[in-house]
Amino acid sequence: MSIIVIAIASESGVPIFSKKAGNNENIQFSTIASLHGINMFTKCHNLQMINTLVDNGTILWKEYCKSVTLIGIATGGLECDLELLLSCIHDVMVFCIGKKELENLKNLDQIKRDLRQCYPILDHLLESLDPNNVPRSTIVLDFIQSFLCPQAQQLQQVLDNYAQSVTGRWACLTIHGHLVATSSDFCELDPRETRLLLLLAAAQDGAPLRDTLVYLPQMSPNVAFRAVTCKLLADVYVLVICGATPALSQIDELVLQCWEGYAQIIKEAKLVYPRNFPLSVTFDSALLGLLVINVCKRRCVFSRHLHPNQKSRGMSGVHRIDILRTFYVTTAKDLAPELKIVEAEENDTDVVVSETYWCSEYHKCHAQRSGSLLCCALYAPTVPTHTMRLLTNQIILDLSTNKEIYW
């Protein structure tokens, strides 16, 4: 599998960057020029290339802000929503340098230099598509990876308090790159912005306290905010978006004030990882992996360590993630029609899929949706299909009634 993303200034044709993931060779300048040429040429003839399919792959051109063209090439049987990926990458670009800069593209060399700071984020994003390693922060591009812990409600109060003290509104807590708790206003942020913040935190791994100028693509694409990431414990970060004040040194003190007493709670919450579900939720032993999605909140929880004290049999964890991800991208996404970017393609709005499944030689997958909960479950191949339905149904029932679950 491989994926290539190229950014080109639409007007001048100057390549801005090209990023790749996977086992392909670096793309040559002449190729970039030709690809851009195709797009320019068709545009002259009032024709827009929407999408090109090759055997096991896709080539996609997308122009954003009338100034930047992104070209995405996915090959080798990689199943991903290329269009969504490109729009994410565009978001990252806006996040780093702001929409205005990107639209004007006045000093291209300067912009290219500025964009360098988003490379780690881009790398993170592309890397997460690679089936061969465990993605740290993003399993599926549509959702923010989180985990469910009973402490979330308590932590929310702390976050509210913290946000107030730094004169910000939006704050969240991440553990191992998973969104664990948010301040109560956090939902005002677009899910795409949330994801960018998480990616930022992941890309700045290791720094104890740092602030970055960020443009929120939806909320304020032209006015920069300050995103402050602070490491509380190992793998535990607290993120807040605030204005120019207070200074970083002050924030350092404020963090200490706010969070000092909650180390124990955070440690407790940390124990939920890697199961990612509270221990009060139990699962059938035939269940090998689980991806639970809250469609409304755009959050997902993934787990492959469902059974305590049980050695994982056969399938490796990476493989399980890959199966569930592929299952979601190719199949289960139909259950959440509201996530489709463009409705233009087919107007089957009246067609409602409520369940879907796969049987392969080595596993079975089943997805069922109930309200905003979408549950993709990975089972052993020995489970009969109709049993699978019962089990998934039970999982959804358990999750929606469990008192310890707080999205």
Partner 1 sequence: MNTFKNKISYESPCDSDNDWTNSSDDSKYSDTESSVPEWDSDIGEDGELVYIKTKVNNEVTDNSKTPLLESCETFKLRSDFKRTSTRRSTRGKIFKVLKNRKHKVKDNGNDKKKDLEDNNKFLIIQVSKNMIFSSDKNCQIEKLFGISLETHTDGKTLVVADFLPEAKAIYIPKVKSGYYLLKINGIEVTSYNINNVLQRVVEDIENPKLTFQVVTEGLNIDIEKLLTPKNAPENSTIQLLKDSMCSALYMCGNDVEYPSNDDKGVLYCFPRPFNQNFLYNTRGAYLTLNHLAPKSLGTSEPLISTVFHKNQLINVTYASHCNDLLLIAIPNDKIDAFASKRIINDIVKVLDLLYGSLKMCFTKPNNVDKLDSLFSRIFVSLLFGNKCKDKTDNINVCFEETLAARTLSLPLEVKIQLDDAITELEAADYREWTDDVENFQRLYTVIGACLYYSGHLLSSHLQDEDLKEINAYLKLNGILSLSTEKDIERLVIWKEVFIHEHRKQNKIESNEYRIPDGRWFLLVVGKGHFVLATLMEAGGCTEDAVGVTPPSPFYVEECESCLELLFDVGLNKYLPSWFSSNSQPQVETSPQCLTKHGRKTRDNTSTKADHKNPITKHPKHQSDMKRRHNSSDQINSGSTSEINNYQSTSQHNLYAQWYNGPQKQYRHSSIDVSYSEDSGSVKSNSEISDDRVAGRRADREQKHRRESSGSDSDWDKQDGSRSSNIDMSDIRKSLLEELDHVTVQRITAGEENVLFHFIQLESEKGVLIAPVRNIELQANNALYTHIVKTFRSACKKIHELLQHSIKFKKNHAPSNPLNKILVAVKEYGMLFEAPPEILHQCGISRKNCEPFHFWVVGRVFSEPEPRELYLCYHESVPQDITEIAYLLSYLE
Footprint on residues 276-335 left by partner 1 (CB under 8 A): 322-323, 326-327, 330-331, 334
Gyration radius of the chain over CA positions: 22
Pick the closer one to partner 1 by CB: 265 or 359.
Answer: 359
| Smallest separation, CB 335 to partner 1 (Å) | 9
Q: Parallel, antiparallel, or unpaired: how do β-strands 68-75 and 57-64 relate?
A: antiparallel
Pick the closer one to partner 1 by CB: 1 or 97.
Answer: 1
| Smallest separation, CB 232 to partner 1 (Å) | 37
Per-residue x/- mask for partner 1, residues 106 to 145, rule CB under 8 A?
-------------------------x--------------
Gap between the Cα atoms of 109 and 293, Å rounded = 41
Pick the closer one to partner 1 by CB: 225 or 379.
Answer: 379
Pick the closer one to partner 1 by CB: 253 or 345.
Answer: 345
Pick the closer one to partner 1 by CB: 110 or 362.
Answer: 362
Q: Answer whether 216's CB lies under 8 Å from 243's CB.
A: no
- Degrees (nearest 5) of the Cα angle 188, 193, 197? 115
| Smallest separation, CB 367 to partner 1 (Å) | 10
| Smallest separation, CB 24 to partner 1 (Å) | 6
Q: Does residue 341 interact with partner 1 by CB under 8 A? A: no
- What are the strands, taking DSSP E only, across 78-169? 144-146
Pick the closer one to partner 1 by CB: 265 or 353.
Answer: 353
In SS3 terms, 199-257 reads as: HHHHHCCCCCEEEEEEEECCCEEEEEEEEEEEEEECCEEEEEEECCCCCHHHHHHHHHH
Cβ neighbours of residue 201 closer than 8 Å, sequence gap 6 or more:
174, 177, 229, 237, 239
Pick the closer one to partner 1 by CB: 2 or 67.
Answer: 2
Footprint on residues 77-106 left by partner 1 (CB under 8 A): 77-79
Pick the closer one to partner 1 by CB: 108 or 352.
Answer: 352
Compute the residue count for the chain.
407
Gap between the Cα atoms of 90 and 68, Å rounded = 9
Per-residue x/- mask for partner 1, residues 31 to 70, rule CB under 8 A?
x--xx-xx--xx--xxxxxxxxxxxxx-x-----------
Q: Binding residues for partner 1, how many (CB under 8 A)? A: 62
| Smallest separation, CB 289 to partner 1 (Å) | 12
| Smallest separation, CB 349 to partner 1 (Å) | 10
Q: Does residue 234 interact with partner 1 by CB under 8 A? A: no
Gap between the Cα atoms of 252 and 64, Å rounded = 38
Contact pick of 3, 4, 102, 129 for partner 1 (by CB under 8 A): 4
Contact pick of 353, 370, 380, 406 for partner 1 (by CB under 8 A): 353
Q: Which of 138, 116, 142 is nearest to 127 (CA)?
A: 138
Pick the closer one to partner 1 by CB: 42 or 257.
Answer: 42
| Smallest separation, CB 346 to partner 1 (Å) | 7
Output 255-264 pairs: Cβ under 8 A, ≥24 positions apart: 255/162, 255/209, 255/230, 257/165, 258/158, 258/161, 258/162, 258/165, 259/158, 259/162, 259/232, 262/154, 262/155, 262/158, 263/232, 263/233
Quick one: CA dihedral 143, 145, 149, 153, positive or negative? Answer: negative
Q: Answer whether 96's CB lies under 8 Å from 110's CB.
A: no
List residues binding partner 1 (CB under 8 A).
1-2, 4, 24-25, 27-28, 30-31, 34-35, 37-38, 41-42, 45-57, 59, 73, 75-79, 131, 322-323, 326-327, 330-331, 334, 344, 346, 348, 350-363, 385-386
